[in-house]
């Protein structure tokens, strides 16, 4: 084995020596201006445009040729390359049973087919296909998509009042110019944290959840980031009924006008803010008014009223039942402030007052639940709407309201 290795290395050294000697001779001849006549076998011009210049031993020297034959050879080479590329592409075309040729391409995720009477015709059609990638649609901002969502999915499907509330929330709290797919969980959580821990934060949180859930369903965002948001602890607003002195001050300050009659209606029926508009004069009965509420299954109900209230509603014009509840609440708060009531009064305060007065008068619990639109056995009537006031009797209530309050 060792001898074989030595013999192999010896032959390799001798071979390299001969090659170096030939190279030295060739370079020496080139320096002296000598050149060897080209043998018959080497090509005068290669296909890559190189021209034969000289040969020394086993070595041949080629230089870059200019013009004439060289350019023709290079052009022929280029034509061969194009032809071979076309042939490669055309081999993917298939011939159908009806004699036509078929080709296909995937464009924007969809497979598109072309057909031709000949293979070349099918290939040309395939080249003309528009393979440009479609531009991604511009993603809307959070503010723009919020309005779009409300107009498309909420308008007409919820009450007009609810729709307007949604719009107000979107315009006031979701005026964010960041695109939907760029907004972050941290950004939205900080928005929620800046809001007071009241019902407004809950309303904004719920709307954000709806908006991003729909955006995810429409593939506008890869992930519904709203699922990682936290609303936090909300301080529930505590309402109470007006006490006896506050009721006396408010009722005593009212005039016999449209506003005063509406306040008396709420105090003597316990209607919810939106239920005033559901009263129909053709459904009035002596001693009874029908309230067509929609909040719960028991919201549509008959409420006992006095003869004076019955006449007032029967003779009222149609516009008496249609008004802006927000403007009414603002005027009510001003009237209460003018009467010396240091409390944030709204229509639900009047509803609480009605429930408390029914309790003081001694109306049975089941009847009170019916008048309030609560389910039978619901703790809402006593635990939430009734404010216990000691030393107040039924005659105290009638002293304030007179013949406006019904007899039970």
**Candidate from 75-89, 95-109, 210-224, 285-299 with smallest mean pLDDT:** 75-89
CA distance 165 to 247: 30
Provide the percentage of residues in the chain whose pLDDT is more than 90: 45
Mean pLDDT of the chain: 82
Per-residue tokens: 316: 């009222």
Which whole number is the average pLDDT over 54-80?
54
User: Hey, is 140 helix, strand or coil?
Assistant: coil
3-state secondary structure 34-101: CCCCCCCCCCCECCCCEEEEEEECCEEEEEECCCCHHHHHHHHHHHHHHHHHHHHHHCCCEECCCCCE
pLDDT at 108: 66
Which whole number is the average pLDDT over 356-371?
90
CA distance 346 to 371: 20
pLDDT over 90 (residue 268): yes
pLDDT over 80 (residue 292): yes
pLDDT at 46: 54
Q: Tell me which of 267 and 94 has the higher pLDDT.
A: 267
**Candidate from 45-54, 201-210, 381-390 with smallest mean pLDDT:** 45-54
CB 143 within 8 Å of CB 176? yes
What confidence tier does 297 reach under pLDDT thresholds 50, 70, 90? Answer: confident
What confidence tier does 47 reach under pLDDT thresholds 50, 70, 90? Answer: low
User: Hey, is 177 helix, strand or coil?
Assistant: coil
**Where do we find the tokens 């719920």?**
206
Provide the percentage of residues in the chain whose pLDDT is more than 70: 78
**Candidate from 51-65, 111-125, 393-407 with smallest mean pLDDT:** 51-65
The answer to whether the 142-228 and 244-404 domains have the same CATH topology is no
* pTM, full prediction: 0.52
- Helix, strand, coil proportions of the chain in percent (round to 5)? 55, 10, 35
- In degrees rounded to 5, what are phi and psi of residue 304? -75, 135
**Candidate from 48-52, 125-129, 259-263 with smallest mean pLDDT:** 48-52
Pick the closest to residue 243 from 357, 361, 94, 149 (CA basis). Answer: 357
Render pLDDT for 2-12 as a digit per residue (tens, 0 to 9).
555 676 677 77
pLDDT at 15: 72
pLDDT at 34: 46
Per-residue tokens: 269: 């029926």
- In degrees rounded to 5, what are phi and psi of residue 67? 70, 175
pLDDT at 82: 46
**Candidate from 137-141, 291-295, 357-361 with smallest mean pLDDT:** 137-141
Give the highest mean pLDDT range of 109-118, 231-240, 254-263, 286-295: 254-263
CATH code for the structural domain at 244-404: 1.10.443.10
CA distance 197 to 232: 8
Domain spans, the chain: 2-69, 92-131, 142-228, 244-404
Which whole number is the average pLDDT over 280-300?
89
User: Hey, is 112 helix, strand or coil?
Assistant: strand
**Candidate from 99-108, 113-122, 281-290, 384-393 with smallest mean pLDDT:** 384-393
- The architecture in CATH of the region 142-228 reads Orthogonal Bundle (1.10)
pLDDT over 60 (residue 400): yes
- At CA 361, angle to CA 359 and CA 366, rounded to 5? 50
Q: Tell me which of 181 and 46 has the higher pLDDT.
A: 181
**Candidate from 55-69, 174-188, 319-333, 390-404 with smallest mean pLDDT:** 55-69
At 22, which helix (H) or strand (E)? helix 2-31
Q: Tell me which of 69 and 370 has the higher pLDDT.
A: 370
């Amino acid at each position: 084995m060792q001898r074989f290795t030595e013999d192999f290395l010896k032959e390799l050294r001798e071979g390299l020596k001969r090659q170096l000697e030939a190279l030295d001779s060739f370079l020496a001849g080139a320096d002296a201006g000598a050149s060897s006549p080209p043998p018959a076998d080497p090509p005068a011009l290669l296909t890559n445009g190189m021209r034969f210049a000289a040969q020394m031993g086993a070595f041949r020297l080629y230089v870059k040729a200019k013009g004439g034959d060289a350019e023709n050879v290079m052009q022929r080479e280029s034509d061969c390359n194009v032809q071979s590329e076309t042939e490669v592409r055309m081999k993917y075309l298939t011939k159908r049973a009806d004699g036509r040729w078929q080709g296909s391409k995937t464009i924007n995720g969809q497979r598109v087919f072309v057909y031709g009477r000949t293979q070349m015709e099918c290939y040309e059609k395939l080249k003309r296909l528009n393979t440009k990638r479609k531009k991604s649609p511009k993603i809307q901002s959070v503010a723009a998509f919020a309005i779009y969502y409300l107009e498309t999915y909420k308008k007409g499907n919820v009450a007009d009042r609810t729709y307007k509330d949604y719009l107000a929330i979107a315009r006031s709290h979701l005026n964010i110019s960041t695109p939907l797919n760029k907004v972050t969980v941290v950004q939205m959580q900080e928005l929620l944290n800046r809001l007071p821990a009241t019902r407004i934060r809950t309303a904004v949180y719920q709307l954000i959840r709806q908006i991003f859930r729909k955006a995810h369903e429409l593939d506008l965002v890869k992930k519904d980031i709203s699922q990682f948001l936290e609303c936090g602890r909300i301080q529930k607003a505590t309402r109470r009924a007006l006490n006896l002195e506050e009721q006396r001050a408010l009722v005593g300050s009212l005039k016999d006008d449209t506003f005063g009659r509406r306040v008396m209606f709420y105090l003597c029926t316990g209607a919810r803010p939106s239920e005033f508009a559901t009263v129909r004069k053709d459904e009035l009965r002596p001693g009874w008014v029908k309230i067509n509420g929609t909040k719960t299954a028991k919201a549509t109900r008959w409420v006992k009223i006095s003869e004076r209230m019955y006449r007032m509603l029967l003779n009222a014009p149609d516009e008496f039942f249609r008004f802006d509840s927000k403007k009414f609440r603002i005027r009510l708060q001003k009237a209460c402030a003018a009467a010396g009531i240091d409390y944030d009064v709204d229509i639900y305060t009047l509803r609480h007052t009605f429930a408390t007065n029914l309790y003081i008068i001694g109306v049975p619990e089941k009847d009170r639940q019916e008048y309030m639109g609560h389910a039978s056995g619901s703790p809402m009537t006593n635990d939430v709407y009734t404010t216990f006031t000691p030393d107040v009797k039924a005659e105290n209530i009638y002293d304030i309201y007179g013949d406006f309050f019904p007899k039970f």
